[in-house]
Amino acid sequence: QVQLVESGGGSVQPGSSLRLSCAASGFTLANYAMGWFRQAPGKEREGISCIGSVEDTTYYTQSLQGRFFISRDNAKNTVYLQMNSLKPEDTAVYYCAAVPRYCTSRWKTINYEYWGQGTQVTVSS
């Protein structure tokens, strides 16, 4: 059974950091590129970042680059999203997704094969 399970979300104050994890099971993570997305209430889903299957290529939404960092540990079947200097506008449900091998320059709009159920991140004072 294929599963992507996000964890690490929570309620934090502005300026804090969080590291989200996405644990994969039921498929070989090393064969997949992995993306992180988020969706805030009343807004469309937004792409955050994508990392290729062998960590040779990463993509970021420009507005988040420099605060958010994607990484992966294929041995642990886990992908991470390090989020620093969090702002209230970062409040959203965060999702990870898997697509075979490559992100490509169209990583925000390609059809991801698997999705997680999401983890809530709330940034508030």
The per-residue pLDDT for range 13-30, each reduced to its tens digit, is: 999 999 999 999 999 999
Q: Are 50 and 33 in contact (CB under 8 A)?
A: yes
- Residue 71 has a pLDDT of 95
The per-residue pLDDT for range 98-110, each reduced to its tens digit, is: 999 889 889 999 9
- Residue 54 has a pLDDT of 74
Average pLDDT in the 25-52 region?
A: 96
